[in-house]
Chains A and B, each alone.
Chain A
Amino acid sequence: DVKVTQSSRYLVKRTGEKVFLECVQDMDHENMFWYRQDPGLGLRLIYFSYDVKMKEKGDIPEGYSVSREKKERFSLILESASTNQTSMYLCASSSFAEDSEAFFGQGTRLTVV
């Protein structure tokens, strides 16, 4: 069974902390994505990566950075967490195949206090 695994289901962090959200996929996919989901705003793309060490900004990259040192792992970093980054964070992966589908993790609900 294919899997995208996010390291935490729930996370509570303090304002100003550096936060790491980890995502691992076991499908040898080239593409990996980080989204955040907020009520009334839907899913918004933060960053995506199409290869090791390669990254592209999504629609809302401000306040975030990413790291992809290995093909299977894509990390989202909040350099200095703020309360407006309280959200559900979703990781996804897909292959380069023309009609590939994306697989999503179960999500990490982050609360910044």
Chain B
Amino acid sequence: DAKTTQPPSMDCAEGRAANLPCNHSTISGNEYVYWYRQIHSQGPQYIIHGLKNNETNEMASLIITEDRKSSTLILPHATLRDTAVYYCIVRVAPHAGGTSYGKLTFGQGTILTVHP
């Protein structure tokens, strides 16, 4: 699985957009970019994923560069409850007979602190 590089920590003011970068320069053509977050003492929570195109859902937007070597997770209006560790993961699509079965390999993530 491709490795990812994220800044160890970031700050954001409440109500502003939080832009979390991720570098995945060795990503392969069949690997998706996934974002999860983990609030203290809870299991990771899925946020969003994408392959080539930009994606948006009720939680966030995902911008993937054209060469797919990096991406940015955008929380459009950060709140105090968005304070968490954010993980960017590249994941091979699961398929029967393969060896990955869609497993997620976590890096260190980015600690996002949203302050008033």
Contacts and interface: CB of A to CB of B under 8 A. Distances in A.
A101 interface: yes
Interface stretch (B12-20, B66-74, B76-84, B101-109): B101-109
Given A42-B106, A103-B46, A104-B44, A50 B101 contact: yes
Interface residues of A, number: 30
Contact of B94 (A90, A96, A106, A107): A96
A74 to B, nearest CB: 13
Interface string B81-116: 000000000000111100101111111110000000
A59 B44 CA distance: 19
Contacts of A44: 106
Contacts of B108: 42
Interface residues of B, number: 24
B112 to A, nearest CB: 16
Interface string A23-49: 000000011010100000011110010
Interface string B40-57: 011111100101000000
B51 A99 contact: yes
Contacts of B94: 31, 50, 94-98, 100
A100 to B, nearest CB: 6
Interface string A99-113: 111111111000000
Contacts of A21: none
Contact of A99 (B32, B96, B101): B32
A56 B102 contact: no
A42 B107 contact: yes
A61 interface: no
A45 B102 CA distance: 12
A56 B101 contact: yes
Closest 10 CB pairs of A and B: A104-B43, A43-B106, A101-B46, A50-B101, A98-B93, A104-B44, A42-B106, A31-B101, A96-B94, A107-B43
